[in-house]
Structure 1
C-alpha cells in the first residue's frame, strides 16, 4: 500500500506571474514549468548582477527558455553560467543548444561528467515501480549522454556555487550519481532538483494536475535507493523554509517541513518501490564515503 504525504494549498509558496510563463518566488529566484519539469532562473533582474540558469528542460524547451530569460533579464544579458542539478533527459534537453547560443560555461558535479561529455548512458529505467503510465513508458525516455565537454566545469570543491553568492551545493545522489541540491542558509532556501519532488511523477494524472505532495525522487529513474534515502535525510535535517524542486510547485512552511521529515523517517515505506530497490552500476568512480569530492 502506497503511503501518501499530501501537502495543503497553504503550503504552496506564493508566486508572482511576471510574464513569458515565469513565476517569481523571491526577488532573485523564479521558475518556469516546461511541460513536466521546472527550469529555474537565479538572479535579481532589478540589478546588473550575474544570473544563472539552473537546468534546461526538454529539447523542445530551448526557445521558450530564451524568451523567458530575455523577458526577465533583457535581450543583452545572457546568463553567466548554466548549472545542472543532474543530467537526466528532462534537465539537459536544451543544454547543448543553450550553452552554444549564450557561449557560457556549464557547471555540474564531476560524477555527472560521463553523462555530459558523451561518454556514458544512464542505467535503464525501471518501468515496474508502479504508479501509472509515466513509469510504464519510462523505458522510452532518452538516457543517452549529451556532450558539452568543451564548456563543462566541475563545481568548486569548497562547495560554493559560481555566480550565486551565499549559496552552497550539496551532493544528494541516489537519483543520479552526481545529483546536487543548492542551499542558501541565510533564508533557508533549498533548490532540491529531483532529490525530492512535490508532485508524483509516476502518474500522468498527477503530472498534469500538479497535485502537491511530498515525494522521494522519481522512482523509474532512481537506481540507488540507499543513496537516495541518505540524501533525503540530509535535506530534511536542514529544516528548509522554502523548497523548489525539479517537478511540482514550490512549497514552504512548518507543515512542509513536517512532511519532509516524515519522508525521511519512513523513506523505505513511502518512497522505495516494493521489491524494486535495484542498484545498478552507472559510470561513477566511487560510492559515498570512498571519494573525497562530495
Structure 2
C-alpha cells in the first residue's frame, strides 16, 4: 500500500495506482465524511485497493461526496458500481457518456490494427460493454462545474470516447486528464507495467475519433498545466510536461495517430443515444504476418513430405 506522500500527485490530489490504470482521490488530507471525490474506479478487481487508499488518505470511515468518471471504458469503471453502492455515492459523467453507463449502448470495438505492442494486439479481448448504473449516474452540470469540488472545472475532451472529460483546477494548473493523453505508451504491455515517463496520445486501440482527439489535446495544452495526472502512467510536472504536451499538440498526427487503423480511416459516430456508426475493420498487419508465417510453415512441411 502506498504511503500518503507517495500517493500525492498535486495539492489534495492523490493517485491510486491500479496495475495498468490510475484512479484519483481529490480532497484535503483527513477530509471529513463526504469531504472528497473519487475520480474513476479502475478495474473490476480494484475495489479493495481503492477503499484502502481512501482510508489511508481520509480516514477509515470517510466516504466520497461523489464519484466522477472521465469516461466509461472497462478499466475506468470496473469497480464503480460496487463502490457507489458501498458508499451510497452519486456518479457523474458527461451526457454523451451516459449511454454507456445506463445500459443503452456498448462502445465501438477496439482496434488491434493500430499496432504498438501487446496491449493493442490483445485489445479485442477487452470488454467494450456498457454498464448500467441506473439512477446512481447523473450528468455533469452544463456550466463546467464539478460537483463538490468548487475550485475545479470539467473540460470536454472527446476523441478517445464521445463524452470524455478532463478536470482542471486553474489556481495551481492541476490537470486530471483521464485518457485524453497519457504519460506512458499504453499500447505496449512493458510500458503499461513499467510506466516510463513521457507524454503520449490517448490509448490508440480504444480511440475512435482521431481528429477530435487532436483538438482535445490542443485544448489541454493551451491550459499550460503545472501537473498532469493521467489515466495511465505516472503524474508529470513542470516545464518537461508542458514542453512534451506542446510537442504532442503541434505534431499530433505524426506522434499519436497510427499509420492505419479502423478509426484512422474514418471516425466512429455517436450521439446522446450511443454509437450510431462504426467503420469496417482493417485487417491487423500483425495478423497478416502471422498468417503468412503460418502459411510458410505449412508449405515447408508439405514440401518436405514430397
Q: 2:198 aligns with which of 210, 213, 229?
A: 213
Instruction: State yes or no: 1:42 paired with 2:21.
Output: no
1:280 matched to 2:268: yes
Alpha-carbon distance, 1:61 to partner: 0.3
1:118-197 map, 5 Å: 118-197=103-182
Residues 6-44 of structure 1 deviation map (CA, whole Å, 9 limit, x = unaligned) = xxxxxxxxxxx525x961123411011101000100001
Q: 1:290 maps to what in 2?
A: none
Distance 1:104 1:46 in 2: 18
Partner of 2:153, secondary structure, is strand
Q: Which has the larger radius of gyration?
A: 2
For 1:95-106, list aligned pairs within 5 A. Answer: 95-106=80-91
Shift of 1:50: 1.4
Q: 1:274 to 1:111 in 2, by over 3 A?
A: same
Structure 2 length as normaliser, TM-score? 0.85
- 1:30 aligned residue: 14
Cα deviations by residue, 1:110-132 (Å, 9 ceiling, x for unpaired): 00000000111000000010111
Tell me, in whole angstroms, the C-alpha distance in 2 between the residues paired with 1:121 and 1:40: 25
1:230 correspondence with 2:215: yes
- Distance in 2 between the 1:114 and 1:35 partners? 27
Q: What is the root-mean-square deviation in Å for CA atoms of aligned residues?
A: 1.7
- Count of residue pairs the alignment pairs up: 270
Cα distance between partner residues in 1 of 2:9 and 2:228: 10
Q: Distance in 2 between matches of 1:219 and 1:25?
A: 25
Query: TM-score, normalised on structure 1?
Result: 0.88
Higher relative contact order (CA 8 A, sep 6+): 1
Unaligned runs of 5+ residues in structure 2 are 275-306
**Tell me, what secondary structure is at the counterpart of 2:53?**
helix
What does residue 232 of structure 2 align with? 247
Report the Cα distance in structure 1 between the residues aligned to 2:260 and 2:25, rounded to whole angstroms: 38
Q: 1:90 aligns with which of 75, 96, 101?
A: 75
SS of structure 2 residue aligned to 1:173: coil
Could you list the per-position Cα deviations for residues 39-67 of structure 1 after superposition, in whole angstroms to 9, with x for gaps in the alignment? 10000124437100000000000111112
Structure-1 separation of matches of 2:272 and 2:197 = 33
State the alpha-carbon separation in 1 of the partners of residues 187 and 207 from structure 2: 12
Say whether the 8 Å CA contact 1:123–1:282 is kept in structure 2. no
Go from structure 1 to structure 2 and tell me whether the alpha carbon gap of 1:242 and 1:80 turns closer, same or farther (over 3 Å shift): same
User: Matched residues in 2 for 1:199 and 1:171: separation?
Assistant: 22
CA–CA separation in structure 1 for the residues paired with 2:6 and 2:237: 19
Q: How far has the Cα of 1:73 moved from its partner?
A: 1.3
| Cα distance in 2 for residues equivalent to 1:195 and 1:117 | 22
Determine if contact 1:168/1:182 at 8 Å carries over to the other structure.
yes
Aligned to 2:98: 113
2:80 and 2:133 map into 1 onto residues whose CA distance is 8
- CA-CA distance at 1:283 after TM superposition: 4.8
CA gap 1:40/1:149 in 2 versus in 1, 3 angstroms? same
The whole-number CA distance in structure 2 between the counterparts of 1:18 and 1:26 is 15
Shift of 1:257: 0.6
Gaps of 5+ in 1: 1-16, 287-294
